[in-house]
Chain A
Amino acid sequence: MMRFNSLKTPLVQGINLTKIFRYGLIWGEPVEAVKNVNINLLRGASLSLTGESGSGKTTLGKILLGIIRPTSGKVLFNGIDLTNPKRVPKYIRRMMSYIPQHPEEAFDPRWRLYDNIAEPLRIHKLIGSKEEEKEIIFKLAEDVSLDTSLLNRRPFEVSGGEIQRAVIASALATNPLFMVCDEPTSMLDISTQADILRLLKNIRDKLNISLLFISHDIEIASFMGFKIAVMLKGRIVEMADVDKLINEPLHPYTQGLLGIVKVEYVSSYAKNCRGCPYYDRCPVKMLPCREKEPKLKNVGGDHYVACFRY
């Protein structure tokens, strides 16, 4: 069994992460999906990533899980580098899990929910007998308040909220330490959404899981995280504790997302800019913003912002 570092050192650490996709979908240019991102996640802490679609939230989440290999930079999970998949021991994999945006895509449509939930247990050979497996899965279903009579159904025979619960159960099966939730509720009703978010929050607090929560809705992001990082064109432009970010947003883009300032819409993909990524749309832009990119810096009290005005 691996030993865990003390609570103060981060469980997941992303150092100078950059991911460049070589083949853009539209114009064939290289696209900087994630650029120079440094991110730390302590044990039991939770961080929300927010930003509009195409800002690189999902890519960053997948890099931190070791699903996508970054172009440069390092991901350390409890000190082990995930960027070289061949050197990653298998037991690391069961310590992290992923909840995708479309739950029905995570499951095999031909399998019953029971088998889908049991799959990670079977892959990692964590169970001795059929009875033990059944016991664990019923316990998991209870944890996520999924009706056990639904376990015999197939994914398309249950509602969106129920399948999302089953996906969460499956993600919890291996007792992960680190979980990435990629917009788990964007396809659900508001009431079901409230239900699932509360469930995730309870699980996080009960099992002491480090959670990376990806959402384009800043209100939901602030409900789920201790900290929020706002992403724009692959960069983190502002990061702070929830209260601080919501009450005193500094970056003009964050102010726009919170509805304080109007955000102009510019269809803006695949353009790798030289200066500030927000230059085109910024209402308070200055001269240096076009030429130089502002660095993420601490403006006091763990409030990081990448803007020349601070």
Chain B
Amino acid sequence: MSHVSDTSKEVILSIRDLKVKFYTEEGEVTVISDVNLDLFKGETVALIGESGSGKSILGHTIIRLLPKNANVSGHIIYKGIDLLKIDSSLLRNIRGREIAWIPQMVGSSLNPTVKIGVQIGEVLIDHYNYRNQRAWSSAIDLLKLFEVEPAEEVAKGYPHQLSGGMKQRVLIASAIAARPNLLIADEPTKGLDTIKKTLIVNIFKKIKDLKPDLSILLITHDLKFARELADRVIVMYCGKVIEINDKNSFFELPLHPYSKLLLKSLPSKGLYPIPGKPANVANPPSGCRFHPRCPYASDICEKSSPPLIKLDLNRCVACWLYKR
């Protein structure tokens, strides 16, 4: 429902002036700078960007899973609560129940010594005080819904008995078991083949049908997948948001030069790589961080960093080309 204007939609999560720094042996590294975002109720947003652009870190920041050497400043407001300020007991009630997370490493995200059914159901026992029996049957229902068959057998089994695609579905099942309001999925299609990707797409559509007001943040670099599911697309480059756009207008008429080049590097568009090397967050280029690789770069791009310019209600871009 991307045609609806900003004001009529309910904001579920808003990120303001977010900055994430890591203290490393080589000094301070700013991996995310000046991120301002709004996620609306019931929409699916794809957060795309290459590896090292900070998209996974942004996901981790929202659910506060960053390591100890991270320094976060800014605000992440969910239902009027600043997630960055609350204490851990309150956070526990939000994590899993309100905001769920599907991690990237499918292989290492399930406990190898716990039965699949228990791993899916435990979130219900934790957050809704389900009895074991009821949690178990809910887990089986979810497995059936996601076509992980034979569901009873799988629930009694352990992660090593499942294929990669099945593990991915089990992870999704355990994430949505507690019926969260916001789902953050980190690269849910990484390393899967075309047919299994279609399956994951269908699963996300099913989840959406079950709970239409669920907001989904998809962190991905799979543009095909983003195109199937997303309502809006947010592009990150080197720790900054450089474009926010409607799905259709992004794939037909991308705004930022980086997005244009990124679309050209798709197999269906001829596999033309973006010239130059990805910018390094530890040592970012001056001015616009994309200027060393940008075919349209001019003097101003080198000197100062462009702000996120709002073109209309749904489209923003950080590029000097759009400055009147």
Contact = CB atoms under 8 A, between A and B. Distances in A.
A52 B273 contact: no
B128 interface: no
Interface string A183-210: 0001101111111011000000000000
Contacts of A293: none
B149 interface: yes
Contacts of A218: 194
B51 A190 contact: no
Contacts of A193: 265, 271
A256 B148 CA distance: 21
Given A159-B51, A190-B262, A53 B193 contact: yes
A282 interface: no
A192 B293 CA distance: 14
A54 interface: yes
Residue with the greatest number of chain A CB neighbours at <10 A, chosen from B50, B190, B273: B273
B80 interface: no
A25 interface: yes
Given A26-B161, A265-B147, A269-B163, A160 B265 contact: no
A20 interface: no
A223 B265 CA distance: 13
Contacts of A191: 50, 261-262, 265, 273-274, 278
Nearest to A220: B267
Interface stretch (B57-65, B132-140, B195-203, B301-309): B195-203
A263 interface: yes
Contacts of A190: 50, 221, 223, 262, 265-266
B150 to A, nearest CB: 9
Sorting the interface of chain B by its residue count into under 10, 10 to 19, 20 to 34 or 35 or more gives 20 to 34
A219 B52 contact: no
Contact of B265 (A53, A194, A216): A194
Contact of A53 (B149, B196, B273, B274): B196
Interface string B266-297: 11100111100010000000000000000000
A161 to B, nearest CB: 8
A194 B271 CA distance: 5
B257 interface: no
- Nearest 3 CB-CB pairs, A to B? A216-B193, A219-B267, A195-B273
Given A53-B192, A53-B193, A265-B147, 8 more contacts: A52-B195, A54-B163, A159-B278, A190-B50, A190-B223, A190-B262, A190-B266, A267-B148
23 contacts: A25-B161, A26-B161, A52-B193, A52-B194, A52-B196, A53-B192, A54-B163, A159-B51, A186-B191, A187-B191, A189-B50, A190-B265, A192-B50, A192-B273, A193-B265, A194-B273, A198-B271, A198-B273, A217-B193, A219-B268, A223-B267, A265-B198, A267-B166
Interface of B: 50-52, 147-149, 161, 163-166, 190-196, 198-199, 221, 223, 261-262, 265-268, 271-274, 278
Interface of A: 25-26, 52-54, 159-160, 186-187, 189-195, 197-198, 216-220, 223, 256-257, 263, 265, 267, 269
